[in-house]
Amino acid sequence: MAERTIVKGRGMPGKDDANYRLYSDGTILLFGVRMSYPHFGKPYQGKPNEDGSLPPKKFSGKFMLPKDTHDAAKRLIEQQIDKILDGDTLKADFKFLKDGDLEGKPEMKGHWIVNASENEDRRPALRGINGEKIDADHMGERKIDEMFQGGYWCDLLISPWRQKAHGKKVNASLRAVKLDRLDTTFGEGGISDDDVDDAFGIKGDTGGFDDEPASDDL
């Protein structure tokens, strides 16, 4: 197996302040991004399909890159998407990188949004603020979701890939998340999705993240 090396960004000469890192295997590490709709404890299941079938459960999240600090990281992601497409064209709706100003959510304005997900049998590696390994089996789903909340900041490792079946897209697999710092949570003082579901007698997790295709769906 070829040695995995840094090819661009933080870790390269003169790039110690970069907020991104590109590795030789195509994975991208993003530093200092804000989490929205993180589902790292309990995998999220999207809304039923038109035929009534349920989509697969996913570990997933939306990650917010401030436009005033992460423009270079955004350009790197675009370059990697173009490399994956290899001359093909694809509408913005089918790429994992979005413009937060168009998402219709006040907290996302002024940010680029990265959507990333992983199959329920491949939980992303999780690390605490001090880099300590999070043992998901020992901690439990609820405590993990309490630890990683929307509004908190993290470092994020993703792996972009091209989906060819069930519609053409360029997606990002969610490889690892390290908690960076706490902040005001989105919707703080409100009630959770589970509380709302219980109140209305709704079964299942309705969540807030559109389902992404499985990373092995090539």
d(C-alpha 216, C-alpha 159), whole Å: 12
Query: Hey, how many other C-beta atoms are within 10 angstroms of the C-beta on 149?
Result: 18
Q: Does residue 208 lie in a domain region?
A: no
Q: Does residue 129 lie in a domain region?
A: yes
- Beta-carbon contacts of 79 under 8 Å, excluding residues fewer than 6 positions away, are none
- Beta-carbon contacts of 18 under 8 Å, excluding residues fewer than 6 positions away, are 9, 10, 12, 31, 72, 73
**Pairing between strand 6-9 and 20-23?**
antiparallel
Q: Does residue 214 lie in a domain region?
A: no
- Per-residue pLDDT averaged across 105-126, rounded? 95
The model's pLDDT over 170-202, given as tens digits with 9 standing for 90+, comes to 999 999 999 999 999 986 444 445 554 555 555
Q: Does residue 185 lie in a domain region?
A: yes
Helix, strand or coil, per DSSP, at residue 95: strand
First-to-final CA distance of the chain = 22
Structural domain of 42: 6-200
Domain total of the chain: 1
CATH number at residue 96: 2.40.50.140
The model's pLDDT over 50-65, given as tens digits with 9 standing for 90+, comes to 888 888 899 999 999 9
Q: Does residue 210 lie in a domain region?
A: no
Q: Does residue 107 lie in a domain region?
A: yes
